[in-house]
Amino acid sequence: MESTFLAYQVKKIDDKFVGKVERLKISDLPEGDVLIEVAYSSLNYKDGLSAIGNPGVTRKYPHIPGIDAAGVVTESTSSKFKPGDEVVITGYDLGMDTDGGFAQYCRIKADWIVPLPKGLSLKEVMILGTAGFTAALCVNHLIHNGLSPEKGPVLVTGASGGVGSVAISILAKLGYNVFASSGKKDQYDFLKKIGAREVISREDTQTDSNRPLLKEQWAGVVETVGGKTMEYVLRTTKYMGGVASCGLVGGAGFTTTVLPFILRGVALLGVDSVQCPMDLRLKIWDKLSSEWKPDTLDLLASMIDLDGLDTAIKEILAGKIKGRTLVEPKSSM
Ligand SMILES: NC(=O)c1ccc[n+]([C@@H]2O[C@H](COP(=O)([O-])OP(=O)(O)OC[C@H]3O[C@@H](n4cnc5c(N)ncnc54)[C@H](OP(=O)(O)O)[C@@H]3O)[C@@H](O)[C@H]2O)c1
């Protein structure tokens, strides 16, 4: 008899998108070189968008979301991987139009797979997941732009979220003076515990001033919010500072003048984790498993199973999630 497995699958029923834990057959999975038994996945904002039918993320339903997966290879037709190998996958098309990590198995292309970095367990690598990898890319881009601790404070926006909380932890470990901006007054203590020296409110990062440049404050910014927050950080970043832009929870559009760029030499640094080339991807995972590995990984994560996804997806879409949500592909079903 063919093996079966459990997965959180989203179906389009009339005009609604409904997620449910289902028992599926291995042959239901898409084509691919490598079959992986998933040990852990994790929840990212994009998974929330996929689960509610956002066509910019997923167009084909029924669909298993989960842009992250870590586990053990059980079958492989690729010479790169063999059964028993521990691996991690973030980004590419996983969980978008390819069935993703919210399942006990996934089958994918070998080219998307990274061997589990030495220094991280399967659980730790998923506490980091796409959010942690993206946070590390932001830090990498800022450092390449010349950021160092003596240049001044670094601001992390959307601080209590996945990318924000890992970025704070990495920057604190590297000796930066980290300011966190957050809409969650009840999470200020958490943000300080994971490494923020100061916490400012979300309102402080949104100004009604029409002035194209405001007082210089930040040597660098990890910017996860977009919209009005991006407008504020571009006007307050110091001379030759960098703004690493990775997110849009506060809006995709923003208005600016060229003045931050031509008078202060501010660099706007785009960050993409999805198609990140494999050589840079391996370098970033290497950093995350060694000198950039957050000391506070346990503090960052809470754990759910497949049955907990409905609630967690609503929370992440409402901006209410704190830190990272690890997903163990189990169910009481
Ligand atoms: N470019 C890439 O490759 C890449 C990779 C991963 C993620 N992303 C993007 O980065 C962003 C953050 O991802 P994430 O996984 O960290 O999401 P998340 O865990 O949901 O965190 C987002 C945080 O942003 C803040 N926030 C929520 N709604 C807001 C609003 N309307 N205005 C201002 N702040 C708001 C909240 O933090 P506070 O309450 O503390 O303010 C929230 O916890 C998302 O837009 C995601 O799509 C991009």
Q: CA 93, 40, 84: angle at the middle one, nearest 5?
A: 90
Helix, strand or coil for residue 326? strand
Counting atoms of ligand 1 from 1, which one is nearest the CA of 184?
39
Asked if 61 and 17 touch (Cβ cutoff 8 Å), the reply is: yes
**Strand ranges inside the chain, DSSP E:** 4-13, 16-25, 34-43, 68-76, 86-90, 105-108, 114-115, 154-156, 178-182, 198-201, 218-223, 237-245, 267-270, 301-305, 324-328
Q: For ligand 1, atom 25, which residue shows the shortest CA distance?
A: 158
Q: How far is the CA of 77 from the centre of ligand 1 (A)?
A: 37
Q: Does residue 266 share a domain with residue 157?
A: yes
Read off the pLDDT of residues 106-153 as tens digits, 9 standing for 90 and up: 999 999 999 999 999 999 999 999 999 999 999 999 999 999 999 999
Percentage above 70 pLDDT, the chain: 100
Atom of ligand 1 nearest to the CA of 317: 20
37 lies in some domain = yes
| 123 located within any domain | no
**How remote is the CA of residue 157 from the centroid of ligand 1, in Å?**
8
CATH, residue 167:
3.40.50.720
| Residue 27 falls inside a structural domain | yes
Q: Does residue 291 form part of some domain?
A: no
Structure confidence at residue 207 as a pLDDT band (50, 70, 90): confident
d(CA 46, CA 164): 15
Query: Would 100 be classed as within a structural domain?
Result: yes
Q: Does 276 fall in a domain?
A: no
Tell me if 32 sits within 8 A of 73, measured CB to CB. Answer: no
For residues 322 and 226, membership in a common domain is answered with no
Please report, for the domain that includes residue 46, its CATH number.
3.90.180.10
For residues 191 and 260, membership in a common domain is answered with yes
Same domain, 26 and 147: no
Compare 292 and 321 and report the one with higher pLDDT: 292
Looking at ligand 1, which residue's alpha carbon is closest to its atom 9? 247
Q: Ligand 1 mean position to 273 CA, how many Å?
A: 14
**Which residue is closest in CA terms to ligand 1's atom 24?**
158
Shared domain check, 83 and 153: no
Q: End of a domain among 228, 254, 270?
A: 270
Q: Which of 157, 163, 169 to mutate to test the pocket of ligand 1 (most atoms within 8 A of CB)?
A: 163
Of 86, 84, 45, 81, give the one whose Cα is nearest residue 65: 45
Mention every residue, 6+ apart, whose C-beta is less than 8 A from residue 228. Answer: 205, 206, 250, 251, 254
Q: Are residues 90 and 183 in the same domain?
A: no
Domain that holds residue 179: 129-270
pLDDT-derived band at 2 (thresholds 50, 70, 90) equals: confident
Q: According to the model, what pLDDT value does residue 72 have?
A: 98
Residue 155 Cα to ligand 1 midpoint, Å, equals 14
Domain-located, residue 263 = yes
Give the model confidence (pLDDT) of 251-276 as tens digits.
999 999 999 999 999 999 999 999 99
Q: Are residues 34 and 158 in the same domain?
A: no
Q: How confident is the model at residue 184 (pLDDT cuts 50, 70, 90)?
A: very high
Q: Do 185 and 251 have their domain in common?
A: yes
Residue 51 covered by a domain: yes
11 and 95 fall within a common domain: yes
Report how far ligand 1's centroid is from the alpha carbon of 326 (Å). Answer: 16
Rounded CA separation 221/180 (Å) = 10
Overall domain count for the chain:
2
Predicted confidence at residue 116, as pLDDT, reads 98
Residue with the smallest CA separation from ligand 1 atom 22 is 161
Taking phi over 0 as left and psi of -120 to 50 as alpha, with beta for the rest, 92 belongs to: left
Same domain, 152 and 193: yes
- For residue range 83-106, list pLDDT tens digits in order: 999 999 999 999 999 999 999 999
Question: Per-residue pLDDT for 1 more than 80?
Answer: no
Query: Residues 169, 250: one domain?
Result: yes
Q: List pocket residues of ligand 1, CB cut-off 6 Å.
A: 44-46, 130-131, 134, 158-164, 182-184, 202, 224-225, 229, 246-250, 271-274, 316, 319, 321
Q: Sign (positive/negative) of CA torsion 5, 273, 220, 228? A: negative
pTM above 0.95, yes or no: yes
Q: Whose CA is nearest to atom 6 of ligand 1?
A: 131
Q: Are residues 135 and 258 in the same domain?
A: yes
pLDDT of the residue at 297: 93
For residue range 28-87, what is the model confidence (pLDDT) as tens digits?
Answer: 999 999 999 999 999 999 999 999 999 999 999 999 999 999 999 999 999 999 999 999
Distances (CA, A) of 301 to 110, 126, 224, 291, 304: 28, 9, 19, 20, 10
Q: What is the mean pLDDT of the chain?
A: 97
Res 333: pLDDT:
80
Of 232, 254, 270, the domain-final residue: 270
The predicted pLDDT at position 85 comes to 98
Q: What is the pLDDT of residue 267?
A: 98
Per-residue pLDDT tens for 217-228? 999 999 999 999
